[in-house]
Each structure stands twice: as structure tokens, then as C-alpha cells.
Structure 1
């Protein structure tokens, strides 16, 4: 099913790749996004959906010194967020705080909470403890993962532990398990690795090529979704990792990003380099008492429950974020700096 240009748009001045829901803002539907300009001063935009739900308003515009490759909002304080950035061949990561907002602010100074120093490789992402006020974060570079104790009041970050994933692993991202806070998944070119943060050891892996992104099903334990460049989207049961329990065809070009809805079971967003965002309904099978799937006879049978394809874009779509406050809303970001917020309410009746 194809959709027209129905979303609420907002244009950034420069190219961009990352957007995050501001989960800690319980009064507004808010998103945070940052630009990726090589030559210009980069910007972080705080966007809020208007009370009427028909306009995206920039509540804050903040100057950022470097190209932003990853951005994540703090789950317990709406003014705090992290970025991964680069200047030439040098990569870094930091936790920031923006000032109290009184209407729109134009390029005020961001306050540095902590710099995540000590990485030897190119930093890929920063992962926040999934929920609640728990000041632990994980940073991931090409070879290592580092667990930090963050103290936002004292503005410090101390390394609790660090471990190498090995020279054969080229890490590029990850996700924190919302059902087991001791577990994170790390993606690399040829696999998904599962790590126990208590021991800082790899416990298992999915050997699958060209994994671009991974996300956990927040409503169903043991369910993981992967986005893979050419083979689309796979849904996995973490208790049996040999084969996916369901496949989705993904996009006509590379499938780049995938996000599970935080409230509605089985709703998945995907974004790709075909300039589209797809909405899927994919309820994974539930094994019966005999251990066999009750809904899908074969673990690798392909299904295509495509609810809608949103085509409000003219460039590759890299950024996706569901709203936790209004889980029927999501924001997407294309490389040319176009932010679009859409509602999926028309498709909820089909669940």
C-alpha cells in the first residue's frame, strides 16, 4: 500500500542522519535531531508537536561544534542528551544539557555534562539505560564497548568496565534489551552479538551478514528485529537463534533502520535508501507446548504484512523515532534534513 505526502514537515538547514524521541518530556510530543555538515556550524533542533497536532515547532536551536553521527535523548531528563560526533578523522562522544526553555531559543550555548573519552577507535553510538533514572550508559566504538557511570549532578562520567569485541568484529551499533538490563546487542558487518554487562562477555550471536540496525520488541520478551541491507527485515526469537521466526521483504534498496512500536504489539517501522518509510504488522509466532510454531509452519517463510509505505521524502531515510508519549506518532529524517511526523491511527484498526 502506498501513501502520499500526508505528514507534518520541518526542514533542517543541513544534511542529517539521526533523530530521537524525547521520552522524558511527558507534557509534549518532542523530538531531538542534529545536523551533519562538514563545513558549517552544526545544529541541534528541539522540535515539539503543536497542541493542535498540525505543526512542528522549533522550541530550541542549539549550536553544536561538529558533525553529529548519533544522537540519543536521556530517558529521565528531557534537557540531557548524548551525541557522537566527528571532526575530520577524529571521533568523540559527549553528554550535553541545554538551558531551560522559554519559547524559541536561537543558537544558545550547550552545556557539556561529560566527555566520553578513552576510545581508541571510531565511536559509533551511545546507548542509555532503557528506562527510569539509572545513570549508566554504554558507548560503542569499532572494537570496544565501554560501560560508564554517569553523574549528571556532578557532571562526571567514569568508566566502570571496558571490553574488546575482538579484531574480527567491526562494530557499528547496538541496542539495550528493555526486558533484561544486563544484556545489550551489538551489530557488526557479519553478525549480531549479545553481551552480558555484568561480566562484559559475549554470550551468543546471530551469524547474519550486513546487519545495519537492531531493535527489541518492547511488548514481547525474547523478540528481536534486525534490518539488513539487502535481505530486508528478520524477526528473531532469542531462545533459538539459528533461523528467524519471520521475514519481511524490507525496501526496494537497502533497509537501513528498524524500530518496534513501544506500545502496539507487532507494529514495526523501517526506513531505507529507497526514500521510503514502511509500516508493518508482524506478529511473531508463539511456540506451543510441543515447541513448534503454532502460526508459521516454517521458520523462514516470508510474509508481507505491509500496512503502508510513506513517501514524503526525496532522499534516503536514515532516522526513525516512535513517540513514547503518543505511540501512534512517529518522526522520520531523510538525509537532506527533512523531518516528517506521521500518525498511524488509521492503521490501528487493522491490528
Structure 2
């Protein structure tokens, strides 16, 4: 296999796009779902499969007439996903959500090159999606969260001023409303949310604040007033370290919090120069952290000092060879690992692969999906 260190794999959609998700139920492949956002044309959902050995992206394209504002892949079945979309009804714009199934997935292969302009979306006809159900409720759904556990039973929908928790019915064909959390409509709408993988709790971003809610007792678990000086745009729980959550917003900062004591953040990063739209912990190595924003950049950070891996590292590892030579290998340290600048527009989404912990995808508004990998040097610092 050729040494592809430092190379980039790029896939271009025919339309603008802003939402991306890893296909988390397929741990055998580097798969991602991308939804397009065009006002004047029929939209699409692209299933991308990055094949590392061939260093190429294959794709399947599905019809999705409405513009896609958010997409969430089912953690249990790789053919199911939610989209949130704008729907015109009697000249009124509604924000709705539906669960879809991809049928007869047939990948359309094209050779990939390092030139960012080389790989475009296939011109072949797209396939229809099967509608499972549309989420009931008001017409202001902006995000859907799947419950992050092995036995899937629930999902949540985030609305302008409410958080609804739903129970899935038999074979994922129906959904029943379990409970609703209402938020004041006198202030701004909810902006984002994240489901805690360690306990039945959902964090919500609203204006400059973050709050946590226990979905069983329906009580508030924590509150961070003024988490950011401007709007909170993104949240993500640390998958390997309980009580830790990251946030980002329009103040160009990423902040990390211990929700047991929210008087101040435990770490702050200020490496972006414009709004931050997306953040993502690495699910295998939580010392690796991605952020992307309107400065057209994707930043890969090392946050080992606040990660679950911190206890594994000493200041130095001294390996003695047979001739007595002392080789010193430095441990990972906090800091910016690399900035990826292959995008020419706002980068609205980033996602780690569910298969390879060193592979991630980013998506910019001009419809450019870029596959990158953690630099080999940083990878070896972590695994050696």
C-alpha cells in the first residue's frame, strides 16, 4: 500500500451543504452522511465511504427534496438517519424532522486525487429514500439527538423553545412523546444540544448559556450562565471522561467544563478567528479534539491534560536499547496539532470516523467534504 501520509481526499457536492455525520453503526468502514442545502434545486443526501487502501471515496446519492439543516445517523442501524429540514406549507416555512431508510445502497466509485477540485459528486440518478415517520409536534425542530447507548430506545428533538424526548416504537416505525422541557420564549431560541453518554442527561445551548437536564426526573442538573460572551453554537460531551463537556460559540472560543463545578471553565482555546460552528471529541482517544468555523479552518487540538488518557503518560518514557542507549520519547502535550485549510468557505461540520480513530471528515458550505487523518507523528505519540 502506498504511503499516503499528508494526503487529502476531497469530495465535492453539486449543491451547498452544512451538515455532516459519521455512520456510527458501521464500525467496519469510514462512512459519512452529508445533506445538501439548495433553495432552487432538488436536494440530496450523499453516503460517502472513504477507502484507505485505495485512497478514494465512493458514494451513493439519495433524493431529499427539502434543504437539509441537520443530519443524525442511527447508532444501531446503519441504513437509518434523521434529517431536519425546511418545509414550505401554505407559504409558511416550517422546520420539520423525519426518519429515513436508505434502500439498495449501490456505491458509485470515482478515482480520488489530492487535487481538491478533482472529485465531484456523480452525475448518476439518485435513489429515493424511504420515509419511516415524520416527528410530530410544532414546526420548529432544528436538531435531533439519538440516545447514545447500545440498546436504543429514545431520541430527542430540539425546538426553538422546547426539548422533547421520544420513545421509539417497534422496528423504529413509530415514536411516542415521553416528556417535554419548556424554555422561555421571551429570550432567544435554543441553539444546540448534546446527549450525555454516561447518564440520562441532555445539555442544551441557549443564547450564551448551557444547561443540563435529567430526562428521567425532568430536573435541571447544571447551569452555566455566560458560558460564552456571544451565542453558544456547539456542544459535545467527553465520551470517555464523565462530567466533562466542551462548548464553542460566536466568541471564537472553545471552552471545557466540569459540570460538577461550573464557576469557571477548566480549559479555554482561542485558535479560531471567527465563529465556531462545530466541535468533536475523538471517541477512541479523547485527547484529540476537532473544531471548525467561519474562518474556513479545521483545527486539530491535543487536550491531553484534561483527557482520560492523562494518567497513562509520564513526563518521559526512557527506552533502553541493547547497547545501553537511552532514547527519550516525549509524551503528548496540549496544543494545536495542525490547522487544515483546504476549505474556501465556512466549515459547518466535522466528524470522526466510527471505524478508524485517526480519520475525520469536514464539510464547508460550498459543498466540499474533506477527509483527513491525524498526523503520523501525533498518532505515534499516543500509541507508543
Q: So what's the TM-score if we normalise by structure 1?
A: 0.89
Verify the 8 A CA contact 1:144 1:162 in the aligned structure 2: yes
Residue 300 of structure 1 is matched in structure 2 by none
Which is further off, 217-226 or 137-146?
Answer: 217-226
In the alignment, the residues of structure 2 paired with residue 312 and residue 191 of structure 1 have an alpha-carbon distance, to the nearest angstrom, of 32
Q: How far did residue 226 of structure 1 move? A: 0.7
Residues 127-148 of structure 1 deviation map (CA, whole Å, 9 limit, x = unaligned): 0011313131000001001111
Residue 289 of structure 1 is matched in structure 2 by none
Verify the 8 A CA contact 2:29 2:354 in the aligned structure 1: no
3-state DSSP class of the match of 1:271?
Answer: strand
Residue 269 of structure 1 is matched in structure 2 by 290
Runs of 4+ aligned structure 1 residues displaced above 3 Å come to 102-106
The within-5 A match list for 1:262-301 is: 262-285=283-306
3-state DSSP class of the match of 2:100?
Answer: strand
Closer, same or farther in 2 for the Cα pair 1:233/1:103, shift >3 Å?
closer
Residue 217 of structure 2 is matched in structure 1 by 199
Q: So what's the TM-score if we normalise by structure 2?
A: 0.82
Q: How far did residue 283 of structure 1 move? A: 2.7
Residue 136 of structure 1 is matched in structure 2 by 154
Q: How far did residue 229 of structure 1 move? A: 1.4
Q: How far did residue 51 of structure 1 move? A: 5.0
The within-5 A match list for 1:230-269 is: 230-269=251-290
Verify the 8 A CA contact 2:43 2:66 in the aligned structure 1: yes
Residue 226 of structure 1 is matched in structure 2 by 247
In the alignment, the residues of structure 1 paired with residue 51 and residue 170 of structure 2 have an alpha-carbon distance, to the nearest angstrom, of 30
Closer, same or farther in 2 for the Cα pair 1:255/1:212, shift >3 Å?
same
In the alignment, the residues of structure 1 paired with residue 170 and residue 355 of structure 2 have an alpha-carbon distance, to the nearest angstrom, of 24
In the alignment, the residues of structure 1 paired with residue 142 and residue 49 of structure 2 have an alpha-carbon distance, to the nearest angstrom, of 27
Residue 49 of structure 2 is matched in structure 1 by 48
Closer, same or farther in 2 for the Cα pair 1:222/1:284, shift >3 Å?
farther
Residue 14 of structure 1 is matched in structure 2 by 15
In the alignment, the residues of structure 1 paired with residue 344 and residue 159 of structure 2 have an alpha-carbon distance, to the nearest angstrom, of 31
Residue 339 of structure 1 is matched in structure 2 by 369
Verify the 8 A CA contact 1:279 1:308 in the aligned structure 2: yes
Verify the 8 A CA contact 1:235 1:284 in the aligned structure 2: no
Q: How far did residue 257 of structure 1 move? A: 1.2
Closer, same or farther in 2 for the Cα pair 1:79/1:202, shift >3 Å?
same
Residue 128 of structure 2 is matched in structure 1 by 109
What number of residue pairs does the alignment pair up?
Answer: 330
Q: How far did residue 54 of structure 1 move? A: 0.9
1:119 aligns with 2:135: no
In the alignment, the residues of structure 1 paired with residue 352 and residue 68 of structure 2 have an alpha-carbon distance, to the nearest angstrom, of 20
Verify the 8 A CA contact 1:8 1:341 in the aligned structure 2: yes
Residue 62 of structure 1 is matched in structure 2 by 62
Unaligned 5+ residue runs, structure 2?
109-123, 308-332
Verify the 8 A CA contact 1:277 1:317 in the aligned structure 2: yes
Verify the 8 A CA contact 1:250 1:270 in the aligned structure 2: no
Out of 93, 96, 115, the position equivalent to 2:97 is: 93
3-state DSSP class of the match of 1:187?
Answer: strand
Unaligned 5+ residue runs, structure 1?
287-302
Residue 295 of structure 1 is matched in structure 2 by none
3-state DSSP class of the match of 2:171?
Answer: coil
Verify the 8 A CA contact 1:43 1:61 in the aligned structure 2: yes
Verify the 8 A CA contact 2:6 2:375 in the aligned structure 1: no
In the alignment, the residues of structure 2 paired with residue 166 and residue 315 of structure 1 have an alpha-carbon distance, to the nearest angstrom, of 34
Residues 223-275 of structure 1 deviation map (CA, whole Å, 9 limit, x = unaligned): 11111212411111111101001111130111221111101131110001111
Closer, same or farther in 2 for the Cα pair 1:94/1:152, shift >3 Å?
farther
In the alignment, the residues of structure 2 paired with residue 219 and residue 151 of structure 1 have an alpha-carbon distance, to the nearest angstrom, of 29
Q: How far did residue 5 of structure 1 move? A: 8.3
3-state DSSP class of the match of 2:127?
Answer: strand
Residue 291 of structure 1 is matched in structure 2 by none
1:161 aligns with 2:192: no
Verify the 8 A CA contact 1:124 1:142 in the aligned structure 2: yes
Q: How far did residue 117 of structure 1 move? A: 1.5
Which is further off, 128-137 or 65-74?
Answer: 128-137
